[in-house]
Each structure stands twice: as structure tokens, then as C-alpha cells.
A = this chain, B = another copy of it.
Amino acid sequence: MTQKRGSDATLAPVHSGALHSGEGAASEGKEPRTARGRRTLRAILDAAAAEFGEKGFHEGSVSGITRRAGVALGSFYTYFDSKDAVFRALVRDMSDQVREHVAPAIRAAPEQIAAERAGLEQFIGFVRKHKEIYRIIDEAEFVDPESFRLHYQTTAERIEKRLKAAAERGEVRSDVSDVHAWAIMGMNVFLGLRYGVWSEDAEASAVADTVAEMLARGLSAK
């Protein structure tokens, strides 16, 4: 009972409803130093999400990104070394955005099953507004395998950590493991694809209820 639930969640500030600041996204030595610079960087990342989400990495271009962002080509290279660099930054940025979007609901939940339920509901909601996230993260498997792997490994580790903290508090079975974490992540990814990206024919809350009921019994302390 020593760990506070949600203590594993990101320590970064949560931008309520807004996009992630993009901090740390620029290429090495190119971090923006002013608020205006940070806004430009953010605009470039959002434009990159639209460009790569619509055209894919190979067809997408730096000029397409700067056109969407309404910035000069020189501004792009002020912050990023290349198309590869902005794609890599974008994968990490989207990974951060998802985490920051779901974290408050997970932290606010009264116990761990409710937390997992809230996390899934928020995730489906996020995906519905950012359908390009699947295409971008999935394409990373080919364009930038390291970012792809890092995204899923850190997500699974975060889930495992919060399950183990919940086990210490007696909220879930004591032997929760990496297998449970990967199972939950896999469920969430495919439920997000099916009920977030491909079709919105079910309420996110109803999908989350069904999963939470299965987990409540499947992971119960006894």
C-alpha cells in the first residue's frame, strides 16, 4: 500500500485537451529557445501528422509539411535535420500525446480496473480525433523500427508498472506480469483500431465497460 496509484504516469505537465508541447522533438542542437519557436515546432509536428497520415512516409514531403504548417522551408530546417528526423520526432510525439491524453482519467479513477476502463475509453476518444495515429505508428515499423519498438515497449512497461502497484494495494491479483500488460495493450490497440478508426458504431464507453467487466473478473485479487 506504499505506492500512490498513477504514480507511474507521466510527470510531464498535462495540456488539458490541447496538444503536447513537442518538447524534445527537435533534432539535436535545434531545440527552440523562445515561445514563438516552440509554437512553430508544434505547428510543424501537427502538419507532419497530417502529411504522413494522408500520404504515408514515402509520398509525404518536407515541402508538403511546410505548406500545411504555413512556414518557410528554412523554418523546417531550423528545427529538423530531415524528413526522417521529423517522422521519428512525430512517432515519439504521438506516443507522448496518447499518454498525456489518457493519464488524467487513469489518475482520477478510484481503483485499477476503473483506471484501465477510463484509459481505454479515453484512448478510443483520442483515436477518433486523431485517426492518423495508427498509420503513422504502424508505418514506423518500416521507416523507423527503433521508435516503433520503443513506443510499444514503454507503453507495456507503463501498464505493467501500474498493474503491479495495484497488486500491492490489493486491487488486482498479486501475480500480474508483463504478459497481462502486453495482453491489455494488445486489446486496447485493436479495440482502438476497430471502434476508433474503422468505425464508430459502438460507444467508446460501452466498449470500455465490456473490457472492464472482463478484466475485473479476470484480474481479481481472488
Contact = CB atoms under 8 A, between A and B. Distances in A.
B189 A190 contact: yes
Interface stretch (A30-38, A97-105, A135-143): A135-143
A182 interface: yes
Given A141-B138, A142-B56, A149-B198, A191 B214 contact: no
B217 A179 contact: no
Interface string A51-67: 00000101000000000
A70 interface: no
A9 interface: no
Tell me if A's interface is mostly helix, strand, loop or mixed. Answer: helix
Interface residues of A, number: 41
Interface string A104-142: 000000000000000000000000000000110011011
A182 B198 CA distance: 13
A39 interface: no
A186 interface: yes
